[in-house]
Structure 1
């Protein structure tokens, strides 16, 4: 009789475990399709494009692959007396150079990295490049991100401070970051 009770008890426990299962699993694998479109810079969810302001002359939007935006503060074109670049031991501010637009589906915070000596060349002695919203040079975007709602845009300026550089040309990549708020 004890044996029958034991078997009946084990059967009841096993049945209730199956009926009240937790749904937990150790691993699972499922194939799903994912579609991603890589859009040109000016058509992406975080769109980058030149402004209509005078300083947009320093912006290039590559008409080739990806329509990527770049800034070149060399040989200003479209003026009678073209300059060749920034001077040593000086500060230059270029308001409203390019535009960032949130073409995504949620509000974002946008920041842009500051560029310093080592980003260009270790011998760039004192060179810094900062990005700022519109004409607000006192709010660099690496310290104070801007918030963009869906469908809104902000023009961006550029501040360059030169020290006593020992090389003439500097190139570096700035990183634009956008995070949902």
Structure 2
């Protein structure tokens, strides 16, 4: 084989192409980049799946921010060794599009979400007397709400059964899986 310009260029071209195939083309397979996102939540109580309204008959349960908003429970002035009943305490309205079962319990989030047994919640929804009192073992659905249906909830606080002050959250859970109350 004679060494001429054509053969030299063909040989160098082959070396460059072979080296590029063997070592890669310089393209990348992944990229990492940081991005920021700003998310805000609109204060729209009408769009909440459950609306909560204090009955207004007691200073123990009030709305914190207007009708349909968060409930505020004032447990500072409860009597020792007594049962305090608030009947009715508050109303739960199902604003969602599905039937739901509702449970209410008082919990202590500082103690690993333990249930505070001093509280029980009752309702006579859908023709059933329903009780949600996990401290006594009666942990049934408090209510079965059809869409747009409201259920009135009564609250009983027994300071002999437990320490009401241990509760720092009243948890209201609505779940379509828990709809059946029979």
| Per-residue deviation, residues 84-124 of structure 1 (Å, max 9, x unmatched) | x2222221211111110001001000001244xx6688xxx
Distance 1:101 1:159, change over 3 A: same
**Match of residue 120 from structure 2:** 130
Higher strand share: 2
Of the two, which has the highest radius of gyration? 2
CA RMSD, Structure 1 to Structure 2 (Å): 3.8
Distance 1:154 1:38, change over 3 A: farther
Q: TM-score, normalised by structure 1?
A: 0.54
Task: Answer with 148-157 or 168-177: which moved more.
Answer: 168-177
**Match of residue 159 from structure 1:** 156
Task: Give unmatched runs, 5+ long, in structure 2.
Answer: 1-39, 178-182
Question: What is the distance in 2 between the residues matched to 1:73 and 1:42?
Answer: 28
Among 40, 46, 49, the residue aligned to 2:53: 49
The within-5 A match list for 1:30-109 is: 39-41=43-45, 44-52=48-56, 54-55=57-58, 57-63=59-65, 67-74=69-76, 85-109=77-101
Task: Give unmatched runs, 5+ long, in structure 1.
Answer: 1-35, 75-84
1:172 aligns with 2:174: no
Q: TM-score, normalised by structure 2?
A: 0.54
Q: How many residues align?
A: 127
Distance 1:61 1:114, change over 3 A: closer
